[in-house]
Every structure is written in structure tokens, then in C-alpha cells.
Structure 1
Amino acid sequence: MYAPVHCLEGYPVDFAGRAVDDADIFATARAVTDWVRRWAERPLPDSEIDFIASFLAVSTHRDADGEGLDPAVLNVVRDCVLRLDEHFLLRLYDGDESLVGLAIHVQDMLARLRTGQRIDRPFGVDFQLGHPLVHELSVYFSHAVETALGVEIPCAEMDFLALHLGSRLQQLMDAEQQVTITLVVPRFGSVADDAVRRLNEGLHGLAVVERLVTEIVPEVSRRPSDVVVTAVELDVDPSVPVVRISPLCTRNEVDAVRQAVLEERQRAQRHQVWSALVAFTDERLFVHTKSQLDRDDALRTCHSLLAREAAVDDQHLEDVFDRERRASTAFGGRFAMPHSLYMDAARTALAVLTSTRPIPWGGHEVNLVIMMAVSPRDRAVFRDVLDELVRILSDPAGVDALIGAGTSYSRLMETLRELVIG
């Protein structure tokens, strides 16, 4: 019965060890566990206090209005977020008020680090696998903070920074990836307006009705949106997904539209990934080996492919090693995607290495390595492709198929195309 406490905060069941020595925090944590014990009518283990105390230690709720925030910390956070925006072509910064929670968290984090206090990693490697771009933002932001303030930020703290950065990123990405809808519905009383309202409310920002067609004989192919939602039969195929609804647009029909919107977003993202793969890799950037390699061998091999094609210089390899030291770029699905923290390649290119023998890579073994080198003009490629490519490669059956086809470039790309766009 005590699972709701730590599950809500995302801590693992085997969490142990006190993170802080703040008496007020532990008093509050004990009060919470006492309340839950009375509510559940069951005793709670002492470790629950540590769960809640660690959450309170990193929580910004105590000073959400910014009172007590050191202006110097806010200045550093602002500079680091602006650098993050420029590097990844984002708009995370939206005035200083948008940074208060993150800045308070950084201020509390600095206090913990300078007094030797530590928190356990709350989400483990699964968080990186599920949100690789957010993890990458956190790594870059942490590096900027480390450089500015002369501290070393451990992985556990990076995960909490990722929560702050990821929540803002999700808002931006949802807005940028918004699907457009053409709605075809008769103009009868408030029927059309009600349908628009129900769809906009039910889709929660995933899509927007950009065009309302109320003609008796509609023509929708002149300006097709991403998805067509219609209450009437269409004589002309709009060449986009079509969802049939009733004029009253019921809740179930809104759910069907939502599903079509999600599928359209996924289709567009997958085509974007495939376009990048076709544009930025070729047979000269591919190698298959039967030799036993370690991680560093694999990194040097991929870098040599990129350097041979004049995509990177010697410094790139040092930057890749530096990025790898900060956090592993290997994922649980037998693949790794090493890269530099910097997007300063002479041209964007992807080097692909497949290995018959597993390559030890931290706590993983990988058979597929894709090294990304990104030029300044293609920064959006890294941002837009990373999450979706990792998601595609995280299917164990798909990676097995790739590794099986990885003895030749043509077979690998044919298999990869099938995985990416079907």
C-alpha cells in the first residue's frame, strides 16, 4: 500500500540512503509518511522517509516565487539556457520568469554538491532510453553549468535537470509538430462550431482545425491539411488520412480523430528520419567487422570513416570521447549513437559500424554503432531525428534484423527503411 508514495515521485523501490541533512526536510517527510500510514492503515518502511526527503531536497515548490534566489545563479542559468537554445535551435527561454523553477533547483543543487550531499539516480538508464533528446539537453546544460561554476554534476542531478528542461521542451515540440485538420461538416445551427470546439478541446494541442468546410458539395483537395475529418461523403480523394464522423462529433469520434492525428505525426517523424539517413550516410561511411572491438576501437573506427570523407577533424574524436565520459551513448537495445557535444562538423554525416561480435560498452553490449557528426547549419537534424531514431531502434526484433542484415550496406539500408517507414 505504500507504492503510491514513491511511484508518484518516480523513485525506484530499492532506493536507500539519506540525501540531505536538513532537519526540516526530514520532519516534513516523516509527517507525510505518518499521514499515509494512517490513511493506508499499514506501516511504512523507514526508507519511505528517504524517498520523500530526496524529492523535497530537489523540489522547487518551497520557493516557487523566486524569493531567496541568488541573482548570480539566475544569471548563470539564463546564460546556459540561451546557449542551449542557440545550440539546438530551441526557444526554452521565455523571459526570466520562465527560469525561476530551474534556477532555484540549480541553487539547491549547488548547495548539495558543495556540502558533499548526494541523491540517488531516480529513474535509471530507462529515462535516457525513453527521452534521449531531453537527456542530451541535460548533458549539454550540465556541461555549461559546470564550466561556469566550477562544479561536477553527477548523473542523478542530471536526471532532475532533465525534468525541468524536458517539460518545457515537450511544450515546444507539441506546438511545432501540431497537425492541421480540415473539418467538413454542415452549417446547421451550432453544429459546425460545436464540432470545431470539441475537436480542439479533445486534441489538447496535438492538432488544430485550420479550415472549416460547410459547402453542400465540398472540395477539399485544393488546400489539403494533414488530416481531413468529414461528416459527409467526399467525391474527391484528398490524398491525406480521412476520418469519418457524424455531424454531432461524439466523444468516441474525437478519440478516433486523435488516433489518426497521432499516427500522422508518427508517419511524418519517421519520414523525416529516413530522409536524414538517406541524405547523410552512404556506403563509404559504412563498415562491418568480424573482429573483437572494444568501445574505444569502435569510436576510432567510426571517426576514421567520417574523417576520410572530410566531415570532421581530429578534434572531433576527442570531443566524442569527452561526451562519452559524461554519460554513455549506448542504449539497451544493442546499439549506440556516439556524438560530440558540439555541432561543428564540416558537414553532417552518419558513420555506421556493424559488428558480428558484441562490443562491450559500459554496462551494455552493442552490435550497431551510428556516430553522428552534425554541422552548424544542420543542428535541427540532431534535434528532430535523435528521439525518433532511438525509438525505432529500441525494438529488439528490429535491431536483431538490422544486425542480421549488417554484413552489407545495401541490405542494412533496405532493412532500416522497412523499420523506419514500413
Structure 2
Amino acid sequence: MRRDLILQYLYQKGKSLTSQELESEFAISNRTLRNELKELNAIGEKSGFVIQKKRGEGYLLHIENQELVQTYMKEIDGALAPDLPRVRVNNIIMLLLQTTEFQTIDLFADSLMISRSTVFTDMIEVEKQVRIFDLKVETKSRYGIRLLGDETNFRRAFSYFLSQKETGLLKKSNYQTFEKAFPFEEIRAVLSEEVQNNQLKLSYFALENILVHIQVLSFRVTQHNFILPNQEKKLDVSLIKPSFMNIAKRICEILSELYHVVLPGSEIIYLAAHISGKSSVDDIEEHEKNDLKQKLKNCLERLDQTFLTQFSGDQQLLNTMIMHMYPLLRRLYFNLKLTNPLIDDVYSRYSDVFMIALNFSEMIKEIWGFELSSDEMGYITMHLAAHVEREKQKQLSSYKKILLSYGLGAGSADLMKMKLETLFQGAKIDVVLYSELQSLKLEDYDLLVSSTSIPFDNISIPYIQVAPILTETDVQRIRRTLTRYPANKVKEDVPTLLSLFHPDLFYIEESKESFDYKAFIKEKAKSVVELGFAAPNYPALVVDREEKISTILQNGIAAPHALKMVAIQDSISVVIFKNPPTIDGKVVQILFLINLRAGDLFLHKELSRLFLHLMDHPETKQKVLKSNNFNDFQYEISKILFQYGS
């Protein structure tokens, strides 16, 4: 039931959630939410929990008896009635994947506790989702619905939806029986041992992905669904090293004994391909390594030209990318998926680098002919982000000699110096009274930090003013100011985030019943072009970006932007929806249409910080949403930026 979904949601989040967040997540009214919470608290009296309402914060699940709560959670697990469209669709697909028989509309309606008309509506999205895995829905009068397609595609889809771990994931009784008996830990131990013995490298997430594949393989063969002999001819077996085949053989021997079946050689080959596509090896053939290295270096150089970055000069990045790309290309060739559970966090926190990864994925398609999934782009983003962080640390390390000026209070100056020493490790920091500043040669220093305003004109070194008592906000502001990436000298004409918002690009909209999100953002992008802020191809690039991966974030925030940075003048269009539309199961309350120039990538990072702040502080977001005009909006945003020192 929906109330149990709400309980699980509060339990998983582990923090206070406002009524607006809960209403948006479950697409319900405030009155319905209050009724559901009232029922939950009645259940909680006997089940060891209470949902508290905290003024100014929202609703918080308070655990009074962990054992009773765990017992109740087990009771409702797998027996929930999902009310969210995306959960319903996933569950219909899951029910279809767990059997080869026809399933009736009534079965879906009863299992999900929804109407037949809702099932028919959801089937449109079901057909769209399974098509991604080259499966199709077969409908037969008086029989029902089932999925058709190659066994390899069934397994790809099954593994994917299992890894989503959606709240209320429905499992048929036969699958539940199989799952309880499956020796997960034994298989994990054997796989880990073999990986170590064969000197392979396997990340935690890759290991989990392979285990899910083995679990799906086991379930399908218990239903007598095998990868047919000769299907392995679709693969170039020569690409699979003997070590991967040996591991697959051992795993298949265990499964054959466990389920009393003889697995054909095609099953061993496909399992070996999975392991090959998700493992790294140190002994890449020299000619393969050199070819891969040269192509990657060319890709990184092209990224540098587009984004004014320095990726190609980072040998550590090049080496890690070679080791990542080797199994990645195997995965793409074998049509395998590696899911990334961190994808939402990666995109939210590194949206600037994610945009670079999108361009990198276009190069992979151009060179090798493969399309990267959003999960794979997430892993590429993590490698590129590691480079960005290293570059920022190098920038901080370049400030070897720092001058700290204070007005009065030697004690506060000592505190300021101590905090700066933690930021600029190894740097020499000289402390001087403001009155003595003019007698010094500023050119001898790399940076001037002062607790008082400096009236001198034409200061030849970077200068940052801070509070007399250095706060953590000041420290973070210094870090961000000095570690912009791409590197950007501290100068007066650097645009601020607040300056990117314009009254001509601010809108308050009433959403319509039939809302076309892509058409809407394209129309707003055209306005950006008409005002002279962006190149003519900007609208098309915005839609291209959206078709790659959705730019709708969490908690009502959307941040569409172009596939390439083609701004003539940096700008951000803002749309506040008074009746928020729901797109792909996500509510959009406020939309930021981003338009930046190449070289201003650091502003993308500052925007990520703003979005994260709005997502983590719903009460602040509500104040922004209540803006009735541009001045109201600008005032609320300026308060946020001032709060975290941007």
C-alpha cells in the first residue's frame, strides 16, 4: 500500500522531509498525505516507530524499537502496492520477465492493486522500456501478454531491473523460492577467489553486477531457458582471455551440480564475456595498449580544445582511462551492461564534468561505433572528475608565499593563519598589520588575504577579503576562487553566478495537461537566441542533450543545457511552475536552462552547488518557488549564494 511506500521512503532517506517533497514524490494531495501519516502512526504504536512533525523541517521517522521496525519492514517487503508510475511500469516488466507464460491484465491489476485502465495506460511505457533491450510485447486475445526476444536480451533486461532495487519490487512466488535458496555468498566467495588467483581487477560494483548476472542465469536455466548453442558465434571468442573462460567454467560447474542441469558451452562463453567486460587486467597486449593510448590521447586533446581543460597532459588520467576503456570496449562489443548506482549523485555533484563525458561519449561512438549508456558515462565522469580535483589541488599548491593582513587583534590573526595553513599546506604565510601593508613589496607574494578592505589600485597579485574571524564559509570561498577549473586567474571581470540571471529570461508558468518537456525547453532556448545570448544552434543542442540523458534532477529541479558550450553571453533562464508537471515520473517545480561559454565551465560547478543546496534544503527551495517576479527570485537566490559564500 502507498502508506508503506511512504514509510520505506522515510526510512531510506533517514532525514526530515517536507510535506511538499512527499507530495511531489508520491503525486498526492496534502490531505491524502496527512491521512496516510495518521494511519502509519497508528501502525507504529505496535511496530516501534513514530513519524514526528518538526516545525520548519518536515516529517521525520523516529525509530523507538529497531527490532519491531525490522520485523514490520520484512512483512511489507515484496507485498507493496506501488502507486508511482515508474514503479508500476518496472513491476509489470518484472512480472513479465519472471515467466515465459502469458500474463493477464487482471493479474497485473490485482498484483499492483490498480485498475485495468491504469494497466493499459502503463503498458505504453512498458513497451517503450522493453524495446530498449530488443524485446517486444506480444498480446494475444483471451490469453494475455508476454515478452518475446533472444535469451541474451531477456537476461540483460532482467539484470537491469533487478539492479534498480525500486521500492516495492514485485517478485513471483517461484522467484522468491529460488532467491531464498540461491547460494549468493558461496558464489561471491568463489568468484572473488578466482579473480584474485587470475590477477584480475574487479571493482565492488562490477563484482555485484556479475553476481546479479549469475543469479539471473541460474533462475533462467531452472526454467529451462538456455542461451542456444551456436549463439556464441555472435561473439569473437578470441577476445575472451583463457583466464575468464576458466572462471566461467568453474562457476558453471557449481551451478550444474546445484540445479542438476548440463549447461551448454554457449552459457560458459557468455558468462566469460560478462566477466571479461567487467574486469581489468594489467597484461594488455602491447599493440592493443598503444593503439588505445593514442586514440584516448587524441580524444583528451579534443576535449581540451573544446573546454579549455588540461586532460591530455595528465599521465595518471591517461593510464586509468586505458585500464577502464579496455573492459568497457569489451562490454560494448558483447552488448553488456554495467549499472552505476551512483549515477544520480555523480550527475548532481559533477554536472560540469558530466557534460564533458557526454562529448567524450560522442567521440567513442565516432571512433568505435558504440553508444555509451548513462551508467557508463557516470564511470567516465568519475575518472575525469578525479583529474579535476587533482588540478585544483595543484592550483592551491602553487601558492607558496601568502601575505595575511589584519586590522587589529593579533589573536584573531593567529587563528586566521592556522586555518590558512590547513588549506595551503607547506606554504609560507607572513602576517602583517594593515597599517604596515604599503611598506611591503606585494610582488614578492603569490596571494594577499586581508580582513580589511584594500583601497590600492592595480594590485598585481590575487587578493581576497575575508571576515576578521575567518569562517568555514571564507575558507571554502578561498578554495573555490583559487581552484576554478579550467584555471582562471582571479580578476575583476569574472562573472558571478548571480549576474547570469536576467529578468528577460525569468518565467512563471502554469503547466498544461499535455506537457511536452522537450518542446518546452526548445522554445525557451529559442528565446535565449533571440535575445543574443546564444548561437543559433543552441536550441537544437539543448534537445540533443536531453535525448542523450534526462537533465531532470531530484526534488523538483531540472537543469537542461546544450550538448556543447555555445553561449555568446553566459545566461541562465529560470522557469517556476505553479502547477508542476510530471515528466518520466519526476515532478519539475523549477527549471534552470543553462547557457555557458567554453572556458566558463567553473560556473557549471557553482550551479551544481546551488542545485544541491536547493535539493538538501526544501524550506529554502519553497521560498524560491514562492517568488512572484524576478526581483523576488533574485533576492532569494542572493541569500543562498551569500550563505555559502559564492
2:328: which partner in 1? 109
Residue 412 of structure 1: CA displacement? Answer: 0.6
Question: Is the Cα–Cα contact under 8 Å of residues 74 and 103 in structure 1 kept in the other structure?
Answer: yes
TM-score by length of 1: 0.70
- For structure 2, list consecutive stretches of 5 or more residues without a partner in the other structure: 1-184, 193-202, 218-239, 251-272, 406-416, 452-463, 485-489
| Deviations 1:97-117, CA, capped at 9 Å, x for gaps | 751321232232122211222
| Residue of structure 2 aligned with 1:152, choices 368, 371, 376 | 371
Structure 1 residues 297 and 217: alpha-carbon distance in aligned structure 2, compared to 1, 3 A threshold: closer
Q: Distance in 1 between matches of 2:436 and 2:632?
A: 44
Q: What does 1:20-419 align with in structure 2 at a 5 Å threshold?
A: 24-25=243-244, 57-60=277-280, 62-63=281-282, 67=286, 69-94=288-313, 98-176=317-395, 181-182=402-403, 203=422, 206-208=423-425, 210-213=427-430, 219=436, 225=447, 240-241=466-467, 261-262=475-476, 264-265=478-479, 275-292=495-512, 293-376=515-598, 379-395=600-616, 396-405=618-627, 407-419=628-640
Q: Secondary structure at the match of 1:346?
A: strand
2:106: which partner in 1? none
| Deviations 1:304-358, CA, capped at 9 Å, x for gaps | 3212202235532121111111111111031111111112233322211111122
Query: Greater relative contact order: 1 or 2 (C-alpha under 8 angstroms, separation 6 or more)?
Result: 1
| Deviations 1:284-318, CA, capped at 9 Å, x for gaps | 11111123244124303321321220223553212
Q: Secondary structure at the match of 2:579?
A: strand
Larger Rg: 2
What is the one-letter code of the residue matched to 2:642?
I
Q: Distance in 1 between matches of 2:379 and 2:353?
A: 11
Question: Is the Cα–Cα contact under 8 Å of residues 206 and 279 in structure 2 kept in the other structure?
Answer: no
Question: Is the Cα–Cα contact under 8 Å of residues 10 and 123 in structure 1 kept in the other structure?
Answer: no
Q: Distance in 2 between matches of 1:400 and 1:350?
A: 20
| Residue of structure 1 aligned with 2:212, choices 9, 12, 16 | 16
TM-align CA RMSD: 4.7
| Deviations 1:223-282, CA, capped at 9 Å, x for gaps | 6956579xxxxxxxx9534669xxxxxxxxxxx9x896346436889999x953443331
Structure 1 residues 56 and 95: alpha-carbon distance in aligned structure 2, compared to 1, 3 A threshold: same
Residue 170 of structure 1: CA displacement? Answer: 1.2
Q: Distance in 2 between matches of 1:56 and 1:259?
A: 47
What is the one-letter code of the residue matched to 2:581?
I
Residue identity (%): 17
Residue 58 of structure 1: CA displacement? Answer: 4.0
Residue 215 of structure 1: CA displacement? Answer: 8.1
- For structure 1, list consecutive stretches of 5 or more residues without a partner in the other structure: 32-52, 185-195, 230-237, 245-255
What is the one-letter code of the residue matched to 2:634?
M
Q: Distance in 2 between matches of 1:97 and 1:69?
A: 19
1:47: which partner in 2? none
Question: Is the Cα–Cα contact under 8 Å of residues 182 and 209 in structure 1 kept in the other structure?
Answer: no
Q: Distance in 1 between matches of 2:557 and 2:378?
A: 22
Question: Is the Cα–Cα contact under 8 Å of residues 350 and 370 in structure 1 kept in the other structure?
Answer: yes
What is the one-letter code of the residue matched to 2:499?
A
TM-score by length of 2: 0.48
Q: Secondary structure at the match of 1:153?
A: coil
